[in-house]
Amino acid sequence: MKFGIILFPGSNCEHDCYYAASKISGEKAAVIWSGDTQLPADFRDPQGANCLIIPGGFSYGDYLRCGAIARFAPIMNQVTAYAAQGGRVIGICNGFQILVEAGLLPGILHRNRALSFVCRDIYLKVENKNTIFSSQITKDVIKVPIAHGEGNYYCADATLEKLEKNGQIVFRYCDAAGNVSPDSNPNGSRHNIAGICNAQGNVLGLMPHPERCAEAVLGNTDGRLIFESIIASVKENVAV
């Protein structure tokens, strides 16, 4: 399969994502410039063996709101169409912010509760293991680093009810034992939400950085499980 990493002015995690997707996972990867008006030819089949990654960073300097300007980049029309036809898309940190600004995921991301940047390892409770992004995670709790100033997820009551009912909350902040509480919430996100998918299950946004914990030399390989889940979903489709 092939991963496509969308590069915006101000992105700073594209190389980490490229490395995790290709060097660690052993798959192909390509960087796609946000100013392009078309996806590369091998990404134009949304049902193909591909996945688009919108990486973390500070797209367009995070002016206005995080992701608010990146949402209007030429490539986002293609990303939106790709996702609408079932193509796999994952947004990490700033990528999550871009996805909500683009309307590909519901809700919004505010300033952290403490109004300060948070950078540390946290624990995630895997709430839904039946997605293309989590199917290879056998553990109930994984450890993944965060690094953000605006990761405080919020949505309206009706939206929250739909997310809960449809199993769209994939990850929640928790403690090492899997307990979900205000004390284990690093940014004030509603219901400790750390990552959600769309109703169709092919678009995921999460604030933690799986690409930063995908190799043993880093002391943690939990993030690799997310990449392995995506790869497994592609192989299952090919097998069918």
Confirm whether 174 is a catalytic residue: no
Is 209 designated active site? yes
Which of 101, 155, 209, 213 is catalytic? The answer is 209
The catalytic position among 66, 93, 174, 213 is: 93
Residue matched to tokens 């036809």: 85
Rounded Cα distance, 134 and 93, in Å: 17
Integer Rg of the chain from CA:
16
Length of the chain: 240
From 101, 127, 150, 211, active-site residue: 211
CA dihedral 27→126→209→232, nearest 10 degrees, is: 10
Contacts with 90 (C-beta within 8 Å, 6 or more apart), sequence order: 51, 52, 53, 54, 133, 203, 204, 205, 206, 226, 230
Indicate the residue type of 56.
G
Residue 13 catalytic? no
Distance CA 53, CA 31 (A): 9
CA 228 and chain centroid, separation: 14
| CB neighbour list of residue 52: distance below 8 Å, 6 or more residues apart | 3, 4, 5, 6, 32, 39, 43, 79, 82, 87, 88, 89, 90
Q: Provide the Cα torsion 144, 147, 150, 156; round to 10°.
A: 0
Task: Tell me which amino acid residue 109 is.
Answer: L
Q: Catalytic amino acids?
A: 93, 209, 211
